[in-house]
Structure 1
Amino acid sequence: MKFYPLQFEPILKERIWGGEKLKTVLHKPITSKITGESWELSTVEGDISVVVNGEWKGKSLTILIDKYPDEILGTKVHARFGKQFPLLFKYLDAREDLSIQVHPNDALAKKRHHSFGKTEMWYIMQADKEAKIIVGFKEKSNPAEYLENLKNKTLLAILDDVKVKAGDVFFLETGTVHAIGAGLVVAEIQQTSDITYRLYDFDRVDANGNTRELHVDLALEAINYDRMEAKKEYSKNVNESNEVVDCSYFTTNFIPLDGEISVSKTGETFTVYMCVEGSFEIMQDNSKLQYVKGDTVLLPAAMNSFTLNGKASILEIYIS
């Protein structure tokens, strides 16, 4: 069996805050003016990614993992997670501000939802002028202060907002209160989890005049009230894997590709490439596959030798 780079049908999600940049910037096949998310690689129940290329076209990722766990996931990942794919990859378009939210850690998510927690990171792909994110508290807070400000609709006054630009990276540990601001296109890497506690949604209503559910009480125990340093500085050495985030859930490197580099893997983990600028090829033996900005590709762990060629900015993700 020859294993090859896998691409998947994007799973498109309408959101009250979404727009059309997933089409205009990333060329996703959206038909709605409020598309907020493209799930690129997912095994969340009800949203299982399906292969669109090669001999496994039409097969779901879960079926392939069930049949070839070591070869797809890697020996180390399979031993740790069983036949679960542990990460979820997305692109997001925020035409409006997202709700202010928080994600539970593994222990809380397991107890309440039989789920992983949701540690995540953002890579800012495009930012309108003055675009911001909310990340954590300005100063150390506590449940009483949080609830008082929520009640008085002054929560924004105690939260830290940060101006952002393309290329910025933010690592959001579970418990970090956060929100993506209007005018941003973001690549998001996270644990396989769809558990979000919504704290405040700016009193928005949908087309039918309904507000979205808030999870104020659930969030109380999940929030980390300390001040967080979420922004990550990283090197950009050409044709090298520059470490951006290294945590127990995933490692993300930034590769400024200009030309050709050879890659060797051990077979312990899968690798995912997200093309955030430019275009590149993956060459293996006599085969060559092309990728452009907005593409996400899964390289099975059994692919242990290949070449990258092109001029691109690439996020390289795997599990250490």
Structure 2
Amino acid sequence: MPTFSGQTTEEIRSWLREHQLFHALAAQIRLPLVPLPDNFSKPTGMPWGGTKIVNAYKNGLPIRAEKQYPIVGESWEISADPIAPSEFIFKFGEERFSINLIQLLELFPEQILGANVAKKFDGQNPILVKLLDAADHLSVQVHPSDDYEGLKPNESGKPESWYILEAEPKCGLYLGLREGVSKAQLRQAIEAQEDVSQYLNFVEVHPGDFFVIDAGTIHAIGAGVTLIEPQKIAPKRSGKTYRLWDWNRRYDAQGNKDPNGRPRELHIDDSFQVIEFEGLRGEAFIQQIRSKQPIVQQNGESVERLCAETPNFGVSQLTLKNDDALSQSCAVSFHGLIVYEGQLEVCQGEVTLAVVSRGESAILPATLETYSLKSPSAKAVKVYLPHQFLS
């Protein structure tokens, strides 16, 4: 099966025309696009990962043999990041081929993204969405903004957000600095290998909580939390994370905890360059970044709640019940859907265009223009680019 690995856009276009498939693919990308469900991170890179993604959210979905890892920390659901772009398989008659989201966007940027999004973001999807399962604490980290001088040419800033799916009792997030913590005090604690978490706000979380994590915010996802993470990426670059402290853990070469192993690399100097030490602290900071989630659409028992609209992404949560449909418009910006409960139908009028199940995601291209969602019982997160930030 062709995969177009390393081929240019013109080479891919030429192959499609040679096999008389270009127009068939152009027609297909006007409909909901469902990527392969197993765009997983390797356990060695995410030693904190758990088993919920594979055993619960992806249970029953086709997982390729090479992706059947014992633990999965992250599943990159909608991604045009060069590290792990979303992959699609198309079948037309006897022809079958694999193509990734970056390649699709190079072929059909305006049709998928919308004209304004494609123009503003160089024809690439500026939103990356991950499903994340933390069986152990993630490192304490911070993300830079795009204008940080320490970034390499292939790196970008990484503002992100978190929609909480599950949280074990008393589990939560580490978000921002506590009142009174100075830069010198924090650095001294890291160098002395103290428990740095004592200098951070701990927020116990529950399903449905949502937080916006801007660049410069020191943070860590705690053990026992599963979430959806929409974040901003720059075209054809990868978002950068600076690891400030890693709970004084050591690992062997396979990524297992080992007191005789090696610690993961830290980026202390870069972290202190980008951490926002000014501004709100403590509970006032938490209230600032926690979403109130007002209802923006309701039809019978089905409800859409707005989580956030920022220059980097829009996020809303959809609860579908009793087949009461929610109408959507993606003409200005593509929509991304991440289904985390049940199974929903993507419809136009009385026609069902796609069925998306728990653990699957979908891209609704701008050329679709309008659609509706319905289900006897399902929940999903929707991402998009707010129109007010596209001028």
TM-score (norm 2): 0.77
The Cα shift of 1:266 comes to 5.6
1:316, 1:150 → 2: CA distance?
38
366, 383, 388: which one aligns with 1:301: 366
Tell me, yes or no, if the aligned pair for 2:136 and 2:222 is still in contact at 8 Å: yes
- Provide the residue aligned with 2:204 in structure 1: 163
1:188, 1:138 → 2: CA distance?
24
- Provide the residue aligned with 1:315 in structure 2: 381
- Tell me the alpha carbon deviations over residues 109-168 of structure 1, each in whole angstroms, 9 at most, x when there is no partner: 785445331111111111111111101011154421221222231421210011111111
- Provide the residue aligned with 2:167 in structure 1: 127
- Provide the residue aligned with 1:202 in structure 2: 247
Tell me, yes or no, if the aligned pair for 1:109 and 1:116 is still in contact at 8 Å: no
Tell me, yes or no, if the aligned pair for 1:149 and 1:155 is still in contact at 8 Å: yes
Structure 1 residue 278 corresponds to structure 2 residue 347? no
Amino acid at match of 2:358: K
Distance 1:150 1:113, change over 3 A: farther
Tell me, yes or no, if the aligned pair for 1:71 and 1:267 is still in contact at 8 Å: no
- Tell me the alpha carbon deviations over residues 11-46 of structure 1, each in whole angstroms, 9 at most, x when there is no partner: 111211012111122026353233211111212223
Q: Secondary structure at the match of 1:108?
A: coil
- Runs of 5+ in structure 2 lacking a partner? 1-25, 254-260, 387-391
Tell me, yes or no, if the aligned pair for 2:325 and 2:372 is still in contact at 8 Å: yes
Amino acid at match of 2:35: F
Question: What is the count of residue pairs matched by the alignment?
Answer: 320
Structure 1 residue 221 corresponds to structure 2 residue 284? no
Distance 1:264 1:91, change over 3 A: closer
Tell me, yes or no, if the aligned pair for 1:242 and 1:254 is still in contact at 8 Å: yes
The Cα shift of 1:284 comes to 3.3
The Cα shift of 1:287 comes to 3.9
- Provide the residue aligned with 2:3 in structure 1: none
Q: Secondary structure at the match of 1:70?
A: helix
Distance 1:54 1:188, change over 3 A: farther
Q: Secondary structure at the match of 2:54?
A: helix
Tell me, yes or no, if the aligned pair for 1:20 and 1:32 is still in contact at 8 Å: no
Larger of the two Rg values belongs to structure: 2
- Provide the residue aligned with 1:87 in structure 2: 127
Where do 4+ consecutive residues of structure 1 move more than 6 Å?
A: none
Q: Secondary structure at the match of 1:294?
A: coil
The Cα shift of 1:262 comes to 5.1
- Tell me the alpha carbon deviations over residues 47-93 of structure 1, each in whole angstroms, 9 at most, x when there is no partner: 12111466586221112111111111111101211112111111111
Amino acid at match of 1:199: L
Amino acid at match of 2:138: L
- Provide the residue aligned with 1:104 in structure 2: 144
Tell me, yes or no, if the aligned pair for 1:116 and 1:191 is still in contact at 8 Å: no
- Runs of 5+ in structure 1 lacking a partner? none
Amino acid at match of 2:117: V
Tell me, yes or no, if the aligned pair for 1:18 and 1:33 is still in contact at 8 Å: no
The Cα shift of 1:297 comes to 0.8
Q: Secondary structure at the match of 2:88?
A: coil
Tell me, yes or no, if the aligned pair for 2:143 and 2:240 is still in contact at 8 Å: yes
1:126-275 aligned at under 5 Å gives the runs 126-139=166-179, 141-152=181-192, 153-192=194-233, 193-208=238-253, 209-225=261-277, 226=279, 227=281, 228-229=285-286, 230-235=289-294, 238-258=301-321, 259-261=323-325, 263-265=327-329, 267-275=331-339
The Cα shift of 1:288 comes to 3.6
How big is the alpha-carbon RMSD for the aligned residues of Structure 1 and Structure 2? 2.1
Structure 1 residue 18 corresponds to structure 2 residue 61? no
